[in-house]
Amino acid sequence: MKRFQAISNWQQTVHVLNRQRHARFSYKSSPLPLSKLKTLDHTKAASPSLTHARRQLTDSRSLSSSSTATTTSLPFKKYSLPRKGAMNGSDGKKRTAYIALGSNLGDRIAWIEKACNEMDARGIKVKRTSSLWETEPMYVLDQDRFVNGACEVETTLEPLELLDALQDIENSLGRKKVIDKGPRNIDLDILLYEDLKINHPRLTIPHIGIPEREFVLKPLTELIPDKPIDHARPWTLCRDYLDALAPSNPPLTTMTPLSSHHPPIQALNSNRKTHVMAILNMTPDSFSDGGQNTTVDESHLLSTIQSFLSAGATMIDIGGQSTAPNAPEVSVETELSRVLPAIKLIRTHFASQPILISVDTYRASVAEAAVAAGADIVNDVSGGSMDPAMLPTVARLGTTICLMHMRGTPATMNSLAEYPEGLIPGIAKELVSRVAAAEEAGIRRWRIVLDPGLGFAKVGPQNVDVLRHLDELRHWPGLQGLPWLVGSSRKTFIGRITGVPTPKERIWGTAATVAAAVQGGADVVRVHDVREMSQVVVMADAIWRY
């Protein structure tokens, strides 16, 4: 009889526990963290029989099927209940989550960037971002194409708190949900949170749509290719889910914004057009055209700029500090006095034309002043390594940066051209580290362009090898999907191969390198002879971009 009574008491206790747990999981409007759902530990005066029943209930769960176990083995029990009114998670511990980013209304990239900035402002630190991918709509097909991405965040918020914060960001940015999976200016979804598996009326983690959505798996695989999504299936990695999907037709492409007045680069679009970047040196000592634009009147400079545009240039790269080997370093004031008037001149006299302006500098203060004057892109030959303030400054400005591969400084680079691991692996690994440094500083991945750095810590035939293997660099792990700029114009290696000592006469050798760059996948070619190279690019695009 006592045994029967004990079993009866245990069953009643289990029934009470299950009812209370069910009631907690069914409270749809609760803004409280999932830790509040986890336990009855606040019942400090629990009887021995209740403790025993709780232990037996836990044991019985562990013996159930794997699907039931993942639903009812509550991993949120590791989190304690936050203090009443606390804004952060229960214990202040930093946790990692992955958030999906999407938009298909208005300036889609701008909405996503605003959402990321809002997360940062609210203490949800965006640690890394994927590329942005343009995708066709899914489920509701009669709507514009989406821009999708993902980000890795660090947060002290627990899952439901994080969900509340993301929904509040959506609301603050004016999102209005008309129909489910319909048009929206911003969409933020929690994909993963630590290793948790959560089934709650307001939140399912891992996100239920991950395995079937290429537009989610593409960016997520950029961030965590070797991480399992479902920890009940640890052998199936994120990349495996992506490989199991039939690829989109046409394939998805990344998007790199350049400015609000020009379309983004789509580096994986096979029929994209190559940008021609015209070089506007405002220095007296550049190796090729030094002094050409420094001692003439404004009308001559305007004529030069107009000739660039008429010849087919879509970008103008303005530099005030020569980076030729052993060139003397000028003061910040001197560099600013050279580049700012040229930028302002373009913005004043060509305001109606969608000209992209790049500033060629490795100084953060020059980059910031140039962007304030109207520059769109920062082109840093040092990849952000010569001025420790450069990457944080560009992150704060929210502009696109070109990270070039270089070793040392312009004065020392030619003595640093040995690559024991091989030229291409050496360049690739060092660029991967610069991309990581940019992301660590807060630069979004979709704001990065790469440059292999011809003539910088590369001598003679090494430059030809880079052109031969540009496509290999484009597909190097950690660099895929990023656009590339190639600057070969009039360089010394061309003169040595062709036997043409005068830089201005190296037009035909330059033409061959520009064609090779297009074939290898370059998105931008940086040139002096704009009219001639624009023709080369048009022809090369017709051959290789289809």
DSSP letters spanning 412-464: TGGG----TT-HHHHHHHHHHHHHHHHHHTT--GGGEEEE--TTSS--THHHH
pLDDT, residue 182, reads: 67
The answer, yes or no, to whether residue 59 has pLDDT greater than 60, is no
In this predicted model, what pLDDT tens digit does every residue of 287-301 receive, in sequence order? 555 556 554 578 889
What's the CA gap between 485 and 404, in Å, rounded? 9
User: Cis omega (within 30 of 0) on the bond before 250?
Assistant: yes
Reported as a pLDDT band with limits 50, 70 and 90, residue 425 is very high
Query: Is the distance from CB of 197 to CB of 231 less than 8 angstroms?
Result: yes
**To the nearest 5 percent, what fractions of the chain are helix, strand and coil?**
40, 15, 40
Reported as a pLDDT band with limits 50, 70 and 90, residue 139 is low
What's the CA gap between 470 and 463, in Å, rounded? 11
The answer, yes or no, to whether residue 461 has pLDDT greater than 60, is yes
What's the CA gap between 462 and 117, in Å, rounded? 41
pLDDT, residue 141, reads: 65
Q: In the annotation, is 526 catalytic?
A: yes
Pick the catalytic residue from 181, 491, 531, 545.
491
In this predicted model, what pLDDT tens digit does every residue of 165-213 receive, in sequence order? 999 999 999 987 666 666 889 999 999 999 999 999 999 999 999 998 9
- Class of residue 15 by CB neighbours under 10 A (exposed 0-12, middle 13-18, buried 19+): exposed
pLDDT, residue 288, reads: 53
pLDDT, residue 177, reads: 67
Q: Which residue has the higher pLDDT, 42 or 171?
A: 171
Q: In the annotation, is 78 catalytic?
A: no
pLDDT, residue 261, reads: 87
User: Cis omega (within 30 of 0) on the bond before 257?
Assistant: no
What's the CA gap between 287 and 296, in Å, rounded? 19
pLDDT, residue 546, reads: 79
- pTM, entire model: 0.82
* Residue owning tokens 């947060």: 155
DSSP assignment of 117-134 equals: HHHHHTT-EEEEE--EEE
In this predicted model, what pLDDT tens digit does every residue of 14-32 receive, in sequence order? 344 444 434 333 333 334 3
Q: Which residue has the higher pLDDT, 246 or 129?
A: 129
pLDDT, residue 123, reads: 96
Mean pLDDT of the 136-161 span:
87
> Count of residues for the chain?
546
Work out whether the CA dihedral 473, 478, 482, 488 comes out positive or negative.
negative
In this predicted model, what pLDDT tens digit does every residue of 362-417 receive, in sequence order? 999 999 999 999 999 999 999 999 999 999 999 999 999 999 999 999 889 999 99
In this predicted model, what pLDDT tens digit does every residue of 327-364 receive, in sequence order? 889 999 999 999 999 999 999 999 888 899 999 999 99
In this predicted model, what pLDDT tens digit does every residue of 435-447 receive, in sequence order? 999 999 999 999 9
Q: What is the mean pLDDT of the chain?
A: 84
Report the percentage of the chain scoring pLDDT > 90. 70
pLDDT, residue 3, reads: 42
pLDDT, residue 117, reads: 97
What's the CA gap between 101 and 150, in Å, rounded? 5
